Amino acid sequence: MKMNRTGVTQLLQQVAIEDSQIPCIKMQEFNAWFDKNQVLKDINLQFNLHQINCIIGPSGSGKSTLLRSINRINDDITSFKHQGEILLKGINVLADHDVTAIRKQLGMVFQKPCVFPNSIRENILFGLQFDNTYSLQQRQTIMEDKLKAVALWNEVQQRLNSPATDLSLGQQQRLCIARTLAVNPQVLLLDEPTSSLDPVSSRAIEDLMLQLKDRYTIIFVTHNILQAKRIADRLIFMCDGQVIEQGNKEQLFNNPAKQQTWDYLNNEYCNC
Amino acid sequence: MNRRLINEVFTIFSSLAALFCLVVLCFLLTVIVSQGFPALSFKFIVSPAKNFGAEGGVLYQLLGSLLLVICAGVISLPIALGVAIYKSEYLQNSRLQLLSHLLLYALNAVPSVVFGIFGLIFFVNILHTGLSWFVGSIILALMILPTITLSCYQSMSSIPHSYRDTAYALGFNNWQTVIQVVLPQGIGGAITGLLMGLTRAIGETAPIMFIATAFSGVTIPQTLNTPVSSLPTHILALTKQATQPQALSNAWGASLVLLTLVLILSISALFSRHYFKLRTQR
Ligand SMILES: Nc1ncnc2c1ncn2[C@@H]1O[C@H](COP(=O)(O)OP(=O)(O)O)[C@@H](O)[C@H]1O
Ligand SMILES: [Mg+2]
């Protein structure tokens, strides 16, 4: 189905799904390659609306590639090829849409905090620079709202014009999350967002996720099993480019269908 | 031979080489300063040359040189930015990338007299421009293009990939990413390259002597295709009439003025590189 290239944002806003049992994102028979190297194999999975969907698995198992396929950031890599469908509320994001509109719906936060060498204010509003629908007053409100949403407002409200690079790594990562929220996405894709942070900052991000999940669908990649145990609603275990098992957290931890899942969750051992 | 010995031999060798360069540089500076200083005065800088340069100062030579290189920079900078952006953001094919790199290095290695001959044949003989300062600027712009482009490209290609990913993930398209991420980071390299290019351009004689400069009777140009006079060509002309002691003394004075300009430009290039490196490392 070929869509009107401009209509995708309106289309996505029309689709209202309130029941959290209905998947927000569904991947169907998805395969991906870098040149001839297949890194994602026959992926069928779903991410639930307004839940924390944790993807776990050893490094190199294709978690980042999967995440980056959803918002099509890998499209810019010439050796990257894919096949299959990724449905966001029933709409195939891989179809011929305006890819920038798709990406605005799918906010992404990376492993290492990536702030630009500008002020805190400029960093928060970075994604709105080419959007002239907001007045100065509205931008101010957005900045304040998002900084409060990531629990950074009290710490930085006195120094919004100082360089964002002066913040601690944990604060920088929260700033990155706020910057993503400012674009007003429906889904948050987070690729091991705490792996370069200290334990206290990691816990702050975890708490933040628990607060944000009422308003956003969260897809959270981690290789930290304990972290997944603390925050996940839904758990997806990946290994060697395949989804081994997916389901509710309790089910996977207490009663997994596969021996491999049990081995990984209990002994962090994987032989696939 | 053991490693320590090799290490020491190399340390001594490179220290000697550095010392040698320093001595030569100091010798040159001393000669030019000591010979040029007596001729130099405020009046020398602000008064026009008289009697074929044997009397008077270097006002129009100084202004001509500045006009030539500033205009060359204005022409070259946007082109260099364009090439660097194309190379770092759009040119995916690695063979073409290598080829474009080789071409830029080749262009950089072309002797400056060849640029002059090219200007003479293409502009003066084929396009019949006559002696024109603007053609001189174009030729100088061409000559410094690779310096600016490579310096700019280097700083653009060292932008962390996460910056681009972040911009794309926020829904920026290619151009928005270039404007908000690539240009702000690349502009430092461009400015450093520009200053290095101008340092080279301002001292050049060969590219402009056939096409853009005249020796005497020249003031501030009123049109694009009139000649100017410049410091390096002026020095060349003065030393040719070395029998006149006053002319020679003025040549030293003009050399000192030129050397000062070169030093100012190259020191600014150094500071610019340092400043922008610090800014991007934060
Ligand atoms: N840009 C790329 N080019 C080629 N191969 C890649 C690229 N990115 C990832 N890969 C390969 O894809 C596989 C999965 O990597 P990745 O998705 O980063 O795994 P994870 O995030 O689970 O550690 C790895 O084998 C990796 O080498
Ligand atoms: Mg990864």
pLDDT-derived band at B108, boundaries 50, 70, 90: very high
- Is residue B250 over pLDDT 60? yes
What's this model's pTM, rounded to 2 decimal places? 0.84
* B228 φ/ψ sector (left φ>0, alpha ψ -120 to 50, else beta): beta
Q: Is A127's CB within 8 Å of B171's CB?
A: yes
Q: For residue B127, how far is its CA from the centre of ligand 1 (angstroms)?
A: 56
Mutate which of A37, A54, A65, A110 for ligand 1? The one with the most ligand atoms within 8 Å of its CB, which is: A65
Q: What is the ipTM of this complex?
A: 0.91
Q: Is B279's CB within 8 Å of A130's CB?
A: no
SS (H, E, C) chain A: CCCCCCCHHHHHHHCCCCCCCCEEEEEEEEEEEECCEEEEEEEEEEEECCCEEEEECCCCCCHHHHHHHHCCHHHHCCCEEEEEEEEECCEECCCCCCHHHHHHHEEEECCCCCCCCCEHHHHHCHHHCCCCCCCHHHHHHHHHHHHHHCCCHHHHHHHCCCEHHHCCHHHHHHHHHHHHHHCCCCEEEEECCCCCCCHHHHHHHHHHHHHHCCCCEEEEECCCHHHHHHHCCEEEEEECCEEEEEEEHHHHHHCCCCHHHHHHHHHCCCCC
Q: A62 CB under 6 A from ligand 1? A: yes
SS3 B220: coil
Q: For residue A62, how far is its CA from the centre of ligand 1 (angstroms)?
A: 6
Average pLDDT score over chain A:
90
- Element holding B50 (H helix, E strand): strand B49-50
Q: What's the pLDDT score for residue A21?
A: 57
Q: What's the pLDDT score for residue A3?
A: 47
Q: For residue A190, how far is its CA from the centre of ligand 2 (angstroms)?
A: 10
Q: For residue A128, what is the nearest residue in chain B, using CA coordinates?
A: B170
Size of interface A-B (CB pairs under 8 A): 54
User: How large is the average pLDDT for residues B85-91?
Assistant: 92
Residue-range domains of chain A with CATH: 5-15+23-267 (3.40.50.300)
Q: Is B180's CB within 8 Å of A71's CB?
A: no
CB A110 within 8 A of CB A139: no
Out of A100, A114, A163, the one facing B166 most closely (by C-beta) is A114
Give chain A positions within 8 Å (CB) of B282.
Answer: 117, 163, 165
Q: What's the pLDDT score for residue B277?
A: 79
Share above pLDDT 90 across residues of chain B, in percent, rounded to a whole number: 67
Q: A63 CB under 6 A from ligand 1? A: yes
Q: A153 CB under 6 A from ligand 1? A: no
Give chain A positions within 8 Å (CB) of B169.
Answer: 71, 73, 103, 106-108, 180
Q: For residue B173, what is the nearest residue in chain A, using CA coordinates?
A: A100
Q: For residue A36, how far is its CA from the centre of ligand 1 (angstroms)?
A: 13
pLDDT-derived band at B243, boundaries 50, 70, 90: confident
Residue A14 CA, chain-centre distance (Å), reads: 22
* A33 φ/ψ sector (left φ>0, alpha ψ -120 to 50, else beta): beta
The residue that leads in pLDDT, A139 or B52, is: A139
Residues of A engaging B, defined by a Cβ cutoff of 8 Å: 71, 73, 76, 78, 100-101, 103-104, 106-108, 110, 112, 114, 116-117, 126-127, 129-130, 163, 165, 176, 179-180, 183
Average pLDDT score over chain B:
91
Q: What's the pLDDT score for residue A22?
A: 65
Out of B162, B172, B279, the one facing A117 most closely (by C-beta) is B279
B170, B175, B181, best to mutate vs chain A, most A CBs in 10 Å: B170
Residues shown for chain A: 272
